[in-house]
Amino acid sequence: MSGRPASGVHWRAATVAAVSEATPHARILRLAVPQWPGSLPGQHVDVRLTADDGYQAVRSYSLGLAGTGEEIELAVDEVPDGEVSPYLVRDVRPGDELEVLGPLGGYFVWNAADASPVQLIAGGSGIVPLRAMVRARLAAASGQRFRLLYSVRTAEDAIYRDEMESLPGEIPVEWVYTRAAPAGWSGATGRLDAERLDAAVWPVADDPLIFVCGPTAFVEAVARSLVARGHPPLRIRTERFGGL
């Protein structure tokens, strides 16, 4: 993820307020951040950890919720051999302190004033900023047509799974299971292909605004496929991440 700090954005002390399990390898962290300025749906923060010897590591994480208040939410998926994510997933506890810089990013953001239909496409933990957009759309009750396509290895790997499965009918969710499907699943299992993309995404004629977030290879493959199907590149906004 990338984003230049806006004027006035600076490092802030944050305290872990609550920790909950999202999947066997991911956790949801609630951080108390005094004087937090609020964020837009789709933005992210940099998280900085400082070791006892002064060594620092910084990584970017999407915000799972947008809006005001002095508490933010992150959902962190552990990356094997990572410097930061294993600590945030395995070791961090309520009361621990770290630092955050943000909110960051102004491109990969949903604006409630935009009446365009919205197509959300998530791969793995790429659901996090898209979940913030879904929550913002429901809170605004603004009427834009939303769709979500969520690709995960298995149902157990889906962050915010229960919430995404219980969204109101006005925001349909299409699931793609790339390794193993849950019991009772009648659809195909495997990587997201052109046929399933065509079935789940708003047609070109509707001129949707499309947000794609996930691992780099997933995002690039989806974006290429969308452009090949006639979606204008300027209507496709992407946010990608590596593993750290």
Q: What is the 3-state secondary structure (H, E, C) of 191-215?
A: CCCHHHHHHHCCCHHHCCEEEEEEE
2: pLDDT confidence band, cut at 50, 70 and 90?
Answer: very low
170: pLDDT confidence band, cut at 50, 70 and 90?
Answer: very high
In Å, how far are 84, 157, 203 from 31, measured between CA atoms?
A: 16, 23, 39
**Cα Rg of the chain, angstroms:** 18
Helix (H, G, I), strand (E, B) or coil at 223: helix
pLDDT per position as a tens digit, 70-90: 999 999 999 988 999 999 999
Give CA–CA dist 47/70, Å, rounded: 16
Please report the pLDDT score of residue 101 as a whole number.
98
Give CA–CA dist 118/201, Å, rounded: 9
Please report the pLDDT score of residue 81 as a whole number.
87
Higher per-residue pLDDT: 71 or 243:
71
Give CA–CA dist 127/60, Å, rounded: 15
Q: Are 189 and 176 in contact (CB under 8 A)?
A: no
Average of pLDDT values for 58-80? 96
pTM for this entry: 0.94
Tokens 């962190």 belong to residue: 76
Give CA–CA dist 150/125, Å, rounded: 10
3-state helix vs strand vs coil in the chain, percent to 5: 25, 35, 40
Position 7 pLDDT exceeds 70: no
pLDDT per position as a tens digit, 182-230: 999 988 899 998 889 999 999 999 999 999 999 999 999 999 999 999 9
- Residue 236 carries which DSSP code? E
1: pLDDT confidence band, cut at 50, 70 and 90?
Answer: very low
pLDDT per position as a tens digit, 104-143: 999 999 999 999 999 999 999 999 999 999 999 999 999 9
Position 4 pLDDT exceeds 50: no
Helix (H, G, I), strand (E, B) or coil at 108: coil
Please report the pLDDT score of residue 242 as a whole number.
63
Please report the pLDDT score of residue 241 as a whole number.
83
Q: Which residues contact 169 (CB under 8 A, 6 or more apart)?
A: none
Average of pLDDT values for 150-166? 97
Please report the pLDDT score of residue 91 as a whole number.
96
Which domains, and CATH codes, for the chain?
11-104 (2.40.30.10), 118-241 (3.40.50.80)
Amino acid (1-letter code) at residue 125: S
